[in-house]
Amino acid sequence: MSRIFSGIQPSGELHIGNYLGAVKNWVQLQHTHDGALFCVVDYHAITGNYDPAVLRARRWEMAKSLFAAGIDPTRAHVFLQSDVPEHTELSWIFTTLTPLGDLERQTQFKDKSSKVESIPAGLLMYPVLQSADILLYRADAVPVGEDQIQHLELARDTARKWNARFGEGYFPEPKPLLTPTRRILGLDGQSKMSKSLGNTVGLLETDDEIWAKLRPAVTDPQRVRKTDAGRPDVCNVYQLHKAFSDTETQANVVQQCTTAGWGCMDCKKVLLGNIVEELTPIRHRAAMLDAEPARILDALADGGRAARAIAQETMREVRERMGLDAVHPPRA
Ligand code: TYM
């Protein structure tokens, strides 16, 4: 059976893009794959300027949101990356195998580095650490959204290179597991929903907060008046219906939109109802966890212990195969 690993940055709230692209799939996969590992990747969240107190709070909130979204700590391991120092150790090893050009070609590096004056080397090395995250657990299946595909290609290259030099077949080549909602757009209908673009809808937001964002959301730009027929295939609100509404409602949306039966506001109200229905149990679980923080602490401690046990064994073997194990006098 394949081993599942995935990670999420604690760089803001868990939003519906993360949820539909990855975390909802994690919740399903934990039932079919024992001991899946889900990591709050805090070392990945320090490549830019940040406030330590804010990071501390966000790590907690992210862990809480994952449990609220349905990750069950008796089935899967949720842990903090910085609780397992082997991530950074393996990352260094992988930097020695990674061509600089491969890192400079990464789309996310090009995007992020173009926005800063002085580029921290950590931004360039980010995907190397990500390869280490995955390969440390010798995971072969990584449930992620579409934006992570290029990073996973690099992880596969790294596994191949290391295996060729130090141990054929040791690291599996990890494959992405994508969902039908692999790329959720922000409510501007233009760019990917993303923490850094500030166009997210949080999983724990209230109905009013969600409606305040959904009401002005961009729909089919050619539909100017309510009497104009709309084109669902170019409308981001319809894409969200596909994620949150049942097939009957989706068919009705197409019918009402293309015949100008509903206006966009009618369509958005139906969507709001279905988003709220899906998120309500998640909010309830989050409120329960707020009242019992020890459950989060215990789950993270257990998750960290389980992750360290696997990570330490991998590093023992990696060191041995690379000539970095216990030193001894030369044999005669
Ligand atoms: P991050 O924290 O940006 O996002 C976490 C997960 O959510 C998915 N996602 C989306 N899916 C669909 N539509 C969107 N708008 C959207 N926004 C985010 C991401 O694809 C991801 O699966 N580099 C990673 C974190 C990471 C990681 C890893 C992932 C570090 N090490 C090892 C997998 C394995 C990141 O920044 O994800």
For ligand 1, mutation pick of 25, 106, 147 (most atoms within 8 Å of CB): 147
Domain boundaries, the chain: 5-184+293-322, 204-287
State phi, psi for 26 to the nearest 5 degrees.
Answer: -60, -45
Residue nearest to atom 27 of ligand 1 (CA): 7
The fold of 204-287 is Tyrosyl-Transfer RNA Synthetase (1.10.240)
Which of 120, 80, 90, 87 is closest to 103 using CA atoms?
120
Distance CA 41, CA 111 (A): 20
Ligand 1 mutation pick, 39, 134, 144, 156, max ligand atoms within 8 A of CB: 144
Q: pLDDT per residue over 32-47, tens digit each?
A: 999 999 999 999 999 9
| Ligand 1 centroid – CA 7 distance (Å) | 7
Structure confidence by residue, pLDDT tens digits, 64-117: 999 999 999 999 999 999 999 999 999 999 999 999 999 999 999 999 999 999
Does ligand 1 lie within 6 Å of residue 230's CB atom?
no
Q: Catalytic: which of 161, 175, 192, 213?
A: 192
pLDDT tens string 224-276? 888 999 999 999 999 999 999 999 999 999 999 999 999 999 999 999 999 99
CA–CA distance, 174 with 137 (Å, rounded to integer): 11
What CATH number labels 5-184+293-322? 3.40.50.620
Asked whether 183 lines ligand 1 (CB < 6 A), one says yes
pTM of the complete model beyond 0.95: yes
Q: Is residue 73 a contact partner of residue 41, using CB atoms and an 8 Å limit?
A: no
CA distances from 259 to 77, 229, 233, 252, 263 (A): 49, 5, 14, 11, 10
Burial class (CB in 10 A: 0-12, 13-18, 19+), 290: exposed
